[in-house]
Every structure is written in C-alpha cells, then in structure tokens.
Structure 1
Amino acid sequence: MKVSLRETQDGDLPIFWEQLTDPQLQYMAAATRKYHYDRAHFDQFWASVRSNPTVLLWTVLADGVVAGYASVGGSPSEREVSYVVGRAYWGRGIASQALAELIRLEETRPLHATAAADNVGSIRVLEKCGFVMTGSGRDFARARGQEIDVVHLKLS
C-alpha cells in the first residue's frame, strides 16, 4: 500500500470526524477531548489547528484514500507528534509510514509523544520510527472514564 502525506483539505474533516468518534479508536487513544464528542467543538478545534502556523498538519493517504492525519505541534522545545489512522487501516503499517514521513518533514529535535501504556500498536509505531521511552505517568482518560498509565517517548 502506498502511503503519502498531503496538505489537509476541507473535505478531509468529515472523515477525521468519523474516525475520531469511533468508540474503539477513542478507547485505544484514551486521551480524548471535547472535540471527539461534539461536532461544533470539533469544527472549532480544526479551524484553530489549521490556522496555527506552528502546527505541521498533514492528511495521511493510503493508495490515494484518506486514512487519517499526522501532525506536530507545540513550542520549539516541546514539539509533540500526534497521528490518527482510522480503524479500517490498522495493522497495515500505514501509521508507521506516515509518522516516518512526518518526522522527515519536521526537522526540530527532540520530538515528543505520549501514548496509553496499553496501546501497544501506537508504541510500536513510535519505536519503529526511532522514539524511545523516557518515562511514564498517569493521566485521566476521558474515553475510559478513569486514570490510566501513560508512557512518554522522545526522538532525539
């Protein structure tokens, strides 16, 4: 499967909404926000992200079809990666290829990431791309309604 990144377009947002409201995806990601549940907040969030010049945002394409998104945001000293690939695309190496391309485009180092400690797939994606675990902690996971263990990773 050919994976590529392109600039996010207005027509991508309904697909992102569908992916982010998937209960299984929410459970795996764990760290959901209000925009995962409310379309008006979703629209506000994406308008803000897309207009922020410090955010590097790309749509992930798998064989030309929107599969998700990948982004980097935050201050220069605390740049953090984020990515979502729809459940229909899990287990095909798409997230790994998309993240590899994203970190090639973002030259700032270090890059940071956080994942639910039980999200083995996401941790594996990050490690394949050179991230190493630097610590752990606890965070409230809205999608699970409880505090969970999280891991922090860094790419130097």
Structure 2
Amino acid sequence: MNITLRDVEAGDLDQFFLFQQDADAAHMAGFAPTNPSDRSIFDHHWGEILNDENSLVRTIDVDGQPAGSIAVFRDEDCHEIMFWTDKQFWGQGITTTAMDQFLKEFQSRPLRARVVVDNLGSLRILETRGFKEVGEEQVFSNARAEVVTEKILQLN
C-alpha cells in the first residue's frame, strides 16, 4: 500500500463530499455542517480553506485513490490541524502515516487539534505524535445534535 500526501485536485472534492455523507464518520468526528448534503455549503467551506494563504491542505492518497484529507489552518493565535479519513480506510495505519508525513512538511509550532472525547482513534494518533491536552470545551455538534466535549490538544 502506497500512502502519500499531495495537493488537492478538483476531483478530490467530489470524494470528500461523499465521505462527509457517512453518518457514522460524521458522528465520530463530531463535526458536520448543519446540512451535510448541501453541496453549496461544502463548496463554500472548502473554497475558503483552499484559498486561505495561511492554510496547508493535502489529500491523503492511497494507491492513487483519495482516502481523506489533512489540513492546517490559522485559528486566532495558533495553527490548528484537522483530518478526515474515509471509513473504509480506518484501522489500517493510513491516517497515522499521513499525519507523520504532514508533520514533517508543516513544522510550525505550537499546533493545536480538537477532538471529541470519545473519538479514541484520533486521540491516539495525536497523543502518540506528542500532542498534549491543554483544555476542554463544550461545543454543539451538528452531527450528534447535542453538546459534546472536545479535548484541545497541542504539539509544541
């Protein structure tokens, strides 16, 4: 299996949109737009990320197929990382490998991440890469239609 990071291509966005439709994955992430099936909201969101000069966005590519995305954006005083891997690729070390590759490319620190407390896979990936918990926040999750606790982690 060949896992690489590459620039996001137009066709990748179609795959990312399909990935977002997976209710189980959205629940695990705790993140979803109010209406995940609205392509215009999706396109607006991704347009902002891709056109932001303070962001770095990569497609996680597995054997020539988009498997997810990983990105850093500027949030107030710190960069924040986010990642999404399609459910069919979970448990195969793909996100872990992609994270390692991304952290070699993007070396600005501190780097923060936010993860719903019961998303154990994402927490494990971050913690084994040296991210430490620096706080918690109660936020409303559209995907779960309830308030959830997010851990805020930071890599220094």
TM-based fold match above 0.5:
yes
Q: Distance in 1 between matches of 2:78 and 2:37?
A: 27
> Residue 35 of structure 1 contacts residue 45 of structure 1 at CA under 8 Å; is this kept in 2?
no
Letter in 2 for 1:8: V
Distance 1:75 1:26, change over 3 A: closer
> How is 1:4-153 mapped onto 2 (pairs within 5 angstroms)?
4-34=4-34, 36-75=36-75, 77-153=77-153
Instruction: Single out whichever of 47-56 and 18-27 deviates more from structure 2.
Output: 47-56
> Residue 49 of structure 2 contacts residue 73 of structure 2 at CA under 8 Å; is this kept in 1?
no
Equivalenced residues, count: 156
1:63-112 per-residue CA deviation (whole Å, 9 max, x = no partner) reads 22110000000158310000000000000111111111111111210000
Secondary structure of the corresponding residue to residue 79 of structure 1: strand
Secondary structure of the corresponding residue to residue 36 of structure 1: coil
> Residue 34 of structure 2 contacts residue 142 of structure 2 at CA under 8 Å; is this kept in 1?
no
> Residue 81 of structure 1 contacts residue 111 of structure 1 at CA under 8 Å; is this kept in 2?
yes
5+ residue gaps, structure 2, are none
Letter in 2 for 1:108: S
Q: Distance in 1 between matches of 2:102 and 2:155?
A: 12
1:119-148 per-residue CA deviation (whole Å, 9 max, x = no partner) reads 001101111222111222211111111111
Q: TM-score, normalised by structure 1?
A: 0.94
1:35-58 per-residue CA deviation (whole Å, 9 max, x = no partner) reads 633111111121221111111000
Secondary structure of the corresponding residue to residue 78 of structure 2: coil
RMSD: 1.4
Letter in 2 for 1:33: P
5+ residue gaps, structure 1, are none
The percentage of counterpart residues that share the same residue type is 30
Q: Distance in 2 between matches of 1:35 and 1:127?
A: 31
